[in-house]
Amino acid sequence: VIVTTTVEKLREQITTAKRSGKSVGFVPTMGALHEGHLSLTKLSKNECDLTVVSIFVNPTQFGPNEDFSKYPRTIEQDSSMLESVGTDILFLPDKETMYPTGAATFVTVDGVTDYFEGEVRPGHFKGVSTVVASLFNIVIPDIAYFGQKDAQQVAVIKKMVKDLHFPLRIVIGETIREADGLAMSSRNRYLSSDERQKSLTLSKTLSLVQDLIVKGKSFEEALLEGKRFFAKTGEITLEYLDLVDSETFARAASFKEAESITALIAAKVGTTRLIDNVVITKP
Ligand code: PAF
Q: CA-CA distance, 282 to 207, in Å (whole number)? A: 15
Mutate to test the pocket of ligand 1, among 37, 132, 145, 172 (most ligand atoms within 8 A of CB): 132
Q: What is the atom index within ligand 1 of the atom nearest the CA of 54?
A: 8
Q: What is the pLDDT of residues 175-224, one digit of tens each?
A: 999 999 999 999 999 999 999 999 999 999 999 999 999 999 999 999 99
Indicate which residue's Cα is closest to atom 5 of ligand 1: 128
pLDDT at 257: 79
Distance 155 CA to ligand 1 centre (A): 13
Indicate which residue's Cα is closest to atom 8 of ligand 1: 29
Identify the CA nearest to 147 among candidates 272, 18, 53: 53
| pLDDT higher at 209 or 234 | 209
Binding site membership of 226 for ligand 1 (Cβ less than 6 Å): no
Q: How is the chain split among helix, strand and coil, in percent rounded to 5?
A: 40, 20, 35
Question: Residue 146 belongs to what H/E stretch?
Answer: strand 143-147
pLDDT at 233: 84
The amino acid present at 271, given as its one-letter code, is T
Distance 249 CA to ligand 1 centre (A): 19
Distance 29 CA to ligand 1 centre (A): 5
Q: What is the pLDDT of residues 159-180, one digit of tens each?
A: 999 999 999 999 999 999 999 9
Reply yes or no on whether the pLDDT at 230 is more than 80: yes
265 class by beta-carbon count within 10 Å (0-12 exposed, 13-18 middle, 19+ buried): buried
Distance 232 CA to ligand 1 centre (A): 33
Percent of the chain topping pLDDT 70? 100
Percent of the chain topping pLDDT 90? 96
Binding site membership of 32 for ligand 1 (Cβ less than 6 Å): no
Catalytic residue annotation: 37
Indicate which residue's Cα is closest to atom 1 of ligand 1: 29
